[in-house]
Amino acid sequence: MKTTRFLPLLAGALLLAPAATIAAPVASLASPAAAPDAKPAAITRIDPTFWWVGMKNPKLQLLVHGPGIGNSIVTLNYAGVTLDGVQKMESPNYLLVNLTIGPDAKPGKVALQFAGAKKVKYEYELRARNTDPNRTQGVTSADFVYLLMPDRFANGNPKNDVVKGTRVNRVARDSMYARHGGDLKGIENHFDYLKELGVTAIWPTPVVENDQPKASYHGYALTDYYTVDPRYGTNAEYVGFVKKAHAKGLKVIHDVVLNHMGSGSYLFRDQPAKDWFHQWPSFTRSNFRDAAFNDPYASGYDRKQFGEGWFDTHMPDLNQTNPLVATYLIQNFLWWVENTGLDGYRIDTYSYSDRNFLMQWGAAILEEYPKIGMFGETWVQGTAQQAYFAQNIFPETQGFKSNLPGVTDFQMYYAINETLTKDAGWTEGISKLYYTLQADWMYQDPMRNVLFLDNHDLSRFYSVVGEDFQKYKMGLAWLLTSRGIPQLYYGTEVLMKNFTDPDGKVREDFPGGWPGDKKNLFVAAGRNAQEQEAFRYVSTLANYRRTHPVLHSGKLMQFIPDAGVYTYFRYSDEGAVMVMMNSNKDEKTVDTARFAERLDGFSSGQEVTSEAVISDLKTLKIPGRTAWVVELRK
């Protein structure tokens, strides 16, 4: 599908500025105290908070908020910047200012004057773009992603635990729904731990402001699109966080929500217009049935309820069919990349957003940052349905053709869980892995999909497999040797456990992340023997994968499971690795003759995690509940 540039669209009457301009520079109102000649409350904020010269899309839509600002006439005088017009909103407290940032524009302060009942001056900053080649590196199958919840990982700065003026002004580590005090500094303090583990990319759950009165720690009900939550740090500290991560060889994935926001946002409390949100006569929750989007027999009501119903009572659903809303969101996520140099986006509740908007959003991000990694949460049923939301081989359906590079691969998650919890059958148990992988023909590039064993919304993997350590190792071996981008949930490497219900303990604090913790699992001395073995197993495989491209970028060939044993190969001109998984309780003898096309030329091998040498590849006896990762040798 051809990528087209998404330009801000204007709905309704366009109010053109008069010819008069302001020639003299004026004091900035970004901080009201800096402009004593203006009324401090006249402009409360402008989004985006600043912008850059030299962006590929020269159009910029400013959303100005302040009491009665909507009745203002706007003028400016800045070389290379053109005022295209202003637009009133339904609320008198908003005004849209549309600009073109020409190729000759230089960094500096654009003096905007708002003339109405009051005269207000505002200096809007245009910055130079950062040309550091290490910024926005992207996320690929060569990476190993570590998912963590900042509030639950480590507290590096107790001074920001409680921030005056926020709706939650306490920490309570004995409550799973309260804030616990983790922050960006806490993550930074453990960069070396992540490097030792073999991690190459960090995915924190949303770090933007989530100033909600309940369960604000998770970040998925944002209240300010342009501000890091002060309990995690400042915007400047987040920029520094990304830079320090890059210096350590760690990429950063920014978790974002397109579908909804938190009810505490100023945009909801003082709505620019009713059509910025999906409105219902009474609260209507989404039916969470993504199939209604492309079901050829779906009712209009089901489709509307899925896409326009609210995710929860405190999560207003955004109307992305409104071009002003679409532009606001697109600009925001361009802003975060340019401001921080982040490497990838994980998009929460991806399938719930308006499909035309998803195409516009993806095209705009990829056009400006073609290297950026992007994958969306697609908690759906069936591989075809999952592939529908990724770049795929399907024809355009109902005007939708996804441009999303990758997805969170729930189908492979279901398959590995069935492998480790059900007996093998024709299509059941370990055969599920084979058949799920066989369906990769639907994707343009399945290597961009993200594999996982658990996450912040799911029961922890070690508990799901009944705290069976052998099954645990089988799952990790699969995660780090199959196709795609592996993602590990924090604490899985040290056997953290628990189920999603009834108390949400899958989001417990990482032991050792807070001063005074009884256990410290960040260090070997704090782990018991099995926790240390788990850490060693993950670290050994992850670091081997990192240094052996065949395992993350090589081709994959799988063989149909036989008698509960599943075998596949990762191979390239540089070498080959054989992975053999025995899902049975008992040892199995495997005749490898049918693997001849991949074993040809190899006479022996070494199991990566145990370093055991396999001198004869013709007949293998693999113990029950075991996965071998064998580097083949000639």
Inform me whether the pLDDT recorded for 11 exceeds 50.
no
Of 518, 549, 580, the last residue of a domain is 549
In a domain, 581, yes or no: yes
What is the per-residue pLDDT for 118? 80
SS3 of residue 528 by DSSP: coil
Tally of domains in the chain: 3
Asked if residue 85 and residue 177 are part of one domain, the reply reads: no
Asked if residue 300 and residue 413 are part of one domain, the reply reads: yes
240-254 pLDDT, tens digit per residue, is 999 999 999 999 999
52-78 pLDDT, tens digit per residue, is 999 999 999 999 999 999 999 999 999
In a domain, 517, yes or no: yes
Residue predicted with more confidence, 445 or 169: 445
Cα 159 from Cα 380, distance rounded (Å): 41
Inform me whether the pLDDT recorded for 231 exceeds 60.
yes
CATH number (domain holding residue 585): 2.60.40.1180
What is the per-residue pLDDT for 116? 83
Residue the block writes with tokens 């969101």:
329
Cα 407 from Cα 101, distance rounded (Å): 34
Of 549, 576, 596, the last residue of a domain is 549
Cα 320 from Cα 364, distance rounded (Å): 15
Asked if residue 295 and residue 266 are part of one domain, the reply reads: yes
CATH number (domain holding residue 154): 3.20.20.80
Instruction: Give the residue-averaged pLDDT of 508-517.
Output: 97
Q: Which residues lie closer than 8 Å to 144 by C-beta, 6 or more apart?
A: 198, 199, 200, 201, 480, 486, 488, 542, 545, 546
| Mean pLDDT, the chain, whole residue set | 92
564-608 pLDDT, tens digit per residue, is 999 999 999 999 999 999 999 999 999 999 999 999 999 999 999
Asked if residue 230 and residue 208 are part of one domain, the reply reads: yes
- Is residue 14 very low, low, confident or very high in pLDDT (cuts 50, 70, 90)? very low
Cα 578 from Cα 589, distance rounded (Å): 16
Q: Which amino acid is at 166?
A: T
CA distances from 498 to 240, 440, 456, 459, 493 (A): 34, 32, 11, 6, 14
**Cβ-based burial of 174 (10 A; exposed 0-12, middle 13-18, buried ≥19):** exposed
Inform me whether the pLDDT recorded for 95 exceeds 70.
yes
In a domain, 7, yes or no: no
In a domain, 504, yes or no: yes
Q: Encoding tokens for residue 284?
A: 């209507």
Residue the block writes with tokens 């064998």:
630
Q: Does 377 qualify as catalytic in the annotation?
A: yes
Q: Does 591 qualify as catalytic in the annotation?
A: no
Asked if residue 435 and residue 576 are part of one domain, the reply reads: no
Asked if residue 605 and residue 462 are part of one domain, the reply reads: no
457: number of Cβ within 10 Å: 13
Inform me whether the pLDDT recorded for 30 exceeds 80.
no
- Is residue 264 very low, low, confident or very high in pLDDT (cuts 50, 70, 90)? very high
Residue tagged active-site, from 188, 377, 409, 454? 377
Inform me whether the pLDDT recorded for 349 exceeds 60.
yes
Asked if residue 388 and residue 345 are part of one domain, the reply reads: yes
Cα 565 from Cα 205, distance rounded (Å): 37
Inform me whether the pLDDT recorded for 172 exceeds 60.
yes
In a domain, 473, yes or no: yes
Asked if residue 60 and residue 172 are part of one domain, the reply reads: no
Asked if residue 277 and residue 371 are part of one domain, the reply reads: yes
Inform me whether the pLDDT recorded for 21 exceeds 50.
no
Q: Which residues lie closer than 8 Å to 257 by C-beta, 6 or more apart?
A: 206, 220, 222, 347, 348, 349
Residue tagged active-site, from 348, 409, 418, 440? 348
Asked if residue 303 and residue 238 are part of one domain, the reply reads: yes
In a domain, 289, yes or no: yes
- Is residue 16 very low, low, confident or very high in pLDDT (cuts 50, 70, 90)? very low
- Is residue 3 very low, low, confident or very high in pLDDT (cuts 50, 70, 90)? very low
Inform me whether the pLDDT recorded for 104 exceeds 70.
yes
284-333 pLDDT, tens digit per residue, is 999 999 999 999 999 999 999 999 999 999 999 999 999 999 999 999 99
Cα 172 from Cα 120, distance rounded (Å): 44
- Is residue 215 very low, low, confident or very high in pLDDT (cuts 50, 70, 90)? confident
Inform me whether the pLDDT recorded for 17 exceeds 70.
no
Asked if residue 579 and residue 539 are part of one domain, the reply reads: no
In a domain, 328, yes or no: no
Q: What is the pTM of this model?
A: 0.93
Of 500, 520, 549, the last residue of a domain is 549
CB of 156 closer than 8 Å to CB of 180: no
In a domain, 331, yes or no: no
Provide the percentage of residues in the chain whose pLDDT is more than 70. Answer: 94
What is the per-residue pLDDT for 22? 26
What is the per-residue pLDDT for 41? 47
Its domain, for residue 583, covers 552-633
Inform me whether the pLDDT recorded for 501 exceeds 90.
no
CA-nearest of 514, 451, 521, 442 to 479 is: 451
Asked if residue 92 and residue 194 are part of one domain, the reply reads: no
351-365 pLDDT, tens digit per residue, is 999 999 999 999 999
